[in-house]
Amino acid sequence: MAKIIECVPNFSEGRDKSVIDAIAEAVRATPGATLLDVDPGHSTNRTVYTFVGDPESVVQAALNAAKVAFKLIDMTTHKGEHPRMGALDVCPFIPVRGVSVEECVGVAKVFGQRLAEEVGVPVFLYGAASTRDYRRTMPQIRAGEYEGLKEKLTKEEWGPDYGTRDFVPSWGATVTGVRKFLIAYNVNMIATKEQAHRIALNLREQGRSPDQPGRLKCCQAIGWYLQEQNIAQISINLTDFEVTPVHIAYEEAKKDAEDLNLAVTGSEIVGLVPLAAILQAADYYIEKEKLFILDEEQKVHLAINRLGLTTISSFNPKERIIEYCLENQNSNALANNTVSQFIRSVAARTPAPGGGSVAATVAALGSALGAMVGQMTYGKRQWEALDATMRRLLPPLHNTAVDLIPAIDADTAAFNDYMAALKLPQKTEAEKAKREAAVKAATEATIRVPLSLMSTINGTWDALAEMAGVGNINCRSDLQVGARCLEAGSWGAYYNVLINLDNITDPSTKSTYLAEADALLQRAKQGCSAVLQAVERRQK
């Protein structure tokens, strides 16, 4: 899985279009970084940029943007409604996919150090990257703002984490760190500003006072009125959508609105949102309404509908969901190739993609065939009595087919990492030790990847065998082909384990891996046999 980090730098310029555009262009021109949004504010005199990429690319893009801003922004003349202390006021890094908070902390520290060294400005760490409680939050660090920064830097406890203590008048200081993904979310109401704010106080974590906290954790909220829309809104920041998801905020707002006899008329997400947050909402409504939906696109459609995300503005998933904005960026992924391209790449004079990627592809197709049989049974009048059974059997087959798509690239990636480790320098003892550790880790990855594939395949057999016993009999050949594909995928992964075991030097480790592979293969053989026998029994 590719690592994706979001970076949301806030620059203290929201009025001069030439400056705003120049900073945006610095991000766009950085290889590996994708600029998703530019949101200038005239009254705040501040522009929020949103871009994503791999760890190295987002750091470089943020640095490139900062260097342009250093030439064009002068804080000595800056005025705006938003609190600020620097030209690049704050630069948070947010884990989106395949990256932990700890990894993002490392990214923020790399950025902070490079910014201080290459631009020559003071940099503070905040959030998960900070190690001092009294300077962990933005309000703590930003207290006194730009105007109080010169004196603040002279105090021992306010020495920057990186860079000079000297006051840089044109720049001020920058704060960088890590936060979880913040979802800016508004609930639309036909109500007064005061009524909307009353509900906001009920919901937000701080509530009305320490003695009257609100109901929702990791939730900030206020009520306001949109004159141009002639409606009120509860404006919400969800600082951790895994703690308080979007749909919970929406449902709780509706509950309070009903108590006040007020109408909720939908909601809107401001900016971009992770796919996981939308799928959370879809799964909630699927369970609540006892629906049966497997397809991701249909789940997204359901969430948009149930949350009323298009009532006052458009919500195009391809433009608003981060992963969808990036889906065309990784054009080199094998799984994104056409069938023809993939076959030609396998046939080329290169060691990868090879048997491991082919095994994953075949296994994914096998599980997909099982799901297809379920789809050709579910919802049809003649097999209506099997609807409940299909609702139970379809998900493991459909989900496995989808989950195996990334495995097509995982084997090639593991092989490439192993080859890269072999090429590491080994002139000094330190280099030798680093290379040895890298080779060991990469070697074990080339074994764990096919073992994981075998384990995933084995999660399909029970559902596929039962499907073979009751599913649409007109699709029996699809069940037989699917079972053979899954078994072939397991055999392919098994052979990859065997060849990569040659690179393991420890006999005990090698024996453990081999025993695991043997057991997984045995289960696949038994599973395939059970499916084929179930089909044959129905033909007699």
Residue 86 DSSP label: B
Statement: residue 149 has pLDDT above 90: yes
CB atoms within 10 A of CB 105: 19
Statement: residue 25 has pLDDT above 80: yes
Give the SS3 label for residue 126: strand
Give the SS3 label for residue 477: helix
- Using one digit for the tens of pLDDT, what is the confidence trace for 165-190? 999 999 999 999 998 888 989 999 99
pLDDT of residue 330: 53
What mean pLDDT comes out for the span 465-471? 95
Residue 538 DSSP label: H
Closest by Cα among 376, 327, 342 to 474: 376
Do 124 and 175 contact (CB within 8 A), yes or no?
Answer: yes
pLDDT of residue 540: 61
495 vs 314, which has greater pLDDT? 495
In this prediction, residue 324 has a pLDDT band, given cuts at 50, 70 and 90, of confident
Residues labelled catalytic: 82, 411
pLDDT of residue 41: 83
pLDDT of residue 332: 62
- Flag the least confident range among 80-89, 135-144, 213-222, 318-327: 318-327
Give the SS3 label for residue 67: helix
What mean pLDDT comes out for the span 131-151? 92
pLDDT of residue 377: 95
Statement: residue 375 has pLDDT above 90: yes
pLDDT of residue 367: 97
Domains in the chain, CATH or no CATH each:
4-178 (3.30.990.10), 183-326 (3.30.70.670), 334-539 (1.20.120.680)
Highest mean pLDDT among 94-103, 131-140, 341-350, 454-463: 454-463
- Flag the least confident range among 195-209, 404-418, 488-502: 404-418
Task: Judge if pTM exceeds 0.85.
Answer: no
pLDDT of residue 539: 75
- HSE of 89, CA atoms in CB hemisphere, 13 A: 24
Average pLDDT score, the chain: 92
pLDDT of residue 350: 87
- Using one digit for the tens of pLDDT, what is the confidence trace for 28-74? 999 989 998 898 888 889 998 999 988 999 999 999 999 999 999 99
* Residue found under tokens 């009999």: 473
Cα separation, 266 vs 303, in Å, equals: 12
The alpha helices in 313-354, defined as continuous H runs, are 317-320, 322-326, 339-347
Statement: residue 1 has pLDDT above 70: no
pLDDT of residue 167: 95
pLDDT of residue 355: 92
How distant, in Å, are the alpha carbons of 33, 184, 227, 305 from that of 268?
27, 9, 16, 11
How distant, in Å, are the alpha carbons of 200, 373, 402 from that of 387?
43, 13, 22
